[in-house]
Amino acid sequence: MNQPQLYLWRRFVRPYAQSEVGGSQTGRSQQFLEIITRMKSSLLFALLGLLVVALWTASLAYGTVPIPPMDVVRILLGKSSDPVAWSTIVLESRLPQATTALLVGASLAAAGLLLQTLFRNPLAGPSILGISDGANLGVAIVMLFFGGTIGLTTGGAAIGGSLALILAAFAGACCVLALIIYFSTRVSGNVMLLILGIMVGYLASSLISLLNFYASADRIRGYVMWGMGDFSSVSNTRLPFFALCTLGGLIAALLLVKPLNALLLGERYATNLGVKIRRTRVLILLCTGLLTATATAFCGPVSFIGLAVPHVARLTLGRADHRMLLPVTMLLGSAMALLCNLLTVIPGTGTVFPLNAVTPIFGAPVIIYVILRRRGI
């Protein structure tokens, strides 16, 4: 090879060959990284699934009356227990309570993630749009104004007790949700919609304060106890309807994965990708409204799960792809709700703490960490 040929080879041929080799190596490296990422995601899903199953089983065995895990398994398989009362405790009390905690944790965590993505705000949660406040107002009207009963049927019997509270909370949450959806069709920016939701929450809180001012001490105490949250309010007869509403909202959330990923790039890029922003926003509001309204109506306002769990999921997963982030968030939400449900019971005593006295123990440190991290402190 003479000098001109050597020069041409060094100048044009060798760089092209090296780029081809480097490109193939880069492609192989990317494929290898994708395989490793999928393996890590699969392992994470499996570990979180096992954690949720373990906590759910522990919720059936652990309580004011401890029951051995093997006896719990026998009861779930339909076999008799000794003493017989254990079967009643597991099937009539702890089974619906543990299942409710599992579903509520997943629904509130998913709702929080959807709202944080929609508003691009790390401190957005299920209560930020006033939907929870609407449920609180509905319950406050029934408990503080009507004394725990609503309406009269044709036979003269009033609807009271927990059924009245569930209906009132669901109606109040749905009214606020309809108002927020109406606002979403009138304003274009998500920030303005967020401000409107906060204002609606303030109005509801103001009305609740007025009802508290004129209510008796016993009614105020009952309302305060309801506001502390409780997973045990869902009985076996109401569990199918509760599960149907919750699972419907969770499935709807999973169907919104693609537009959620597009929203991460900003509304302008999402529009260029073919995402209809207004329709997507209404669908997200409907989904989060259904999840929040159902959870609040049946269990009262449960704090911090919807706000903190999405951040834990991001830190655990290390990526913002909703195809994996949303299922991980649901599993972590279920695990956190089940763990808080376990910690409400003091071992060896009959004392049961309010649920909202336990959830801030896990939620507040996460939010503090997120705020300090964003400020660079």
What is the CATH classification number for the domain harbouring 136?
1.10.3470.10
* pLDDT reading at 100 higher than 90: yes
CA separation for the pair 240, 371 (Å, rounded): 39
In a domain, 26, yes or no: no
> Which positions ≥6 away from 154 have C-beta within 8 Å?
none
In a domain, 32, yes or no: no
Range of the domain at 368: 97-374
153 within 8 A of 159, measured Cβ to Cβ: yes
pLDDT tens string 199-212: 998 999 999 999 99
Alpha-carbon separation of residue 129 from 134, 194, 246, 348, 353 (angstroms): 10, 7, 19, 41, 28
In a domain, 13, yes or no: no
In a domain, 39, yes or no: no
Range among 36-45, 71-80, 257-266 rated most confident: 257-266
305 within 8 A of 336, measured Cβ to Cβ: yes
pLDDT tens string 103-131: 999 999 999 999 899 888 888 888 888 88
Alpha helices in 215-317 (DSSP H): 217-226, 239-254, 257-263, 267-272, 277-299, 305-317
In a domain, 28, yes or no: no
Cis peptide before 83 (omega within 30 of 0): yes
In a domain, 46, yes or no: no
Whole-model pTM: value is 0.83
Predicted local confidence at residue 30, as pLDDT: 67
DSSP 233: G
In a domain, 345, yes or no: yes
In a domain, 36, yes or no: no
* pLDDT reading at 6 higher than 70: no
Please give the tally of structural domains in the chain: 1
Alpha-carbon separation of residue 169 from 128, 139, 141, 149, 199 (angstroms): 17, 5, 10, 13, 19
* pLDDT reading at 377 higher than 50: no
pLDDT tens string 292-340: 888 988 888 898 899 899 999 998 888 888 989 999 999 999 999 999 9
CA separation for the pair 318, 40 (Å, rounded): 11
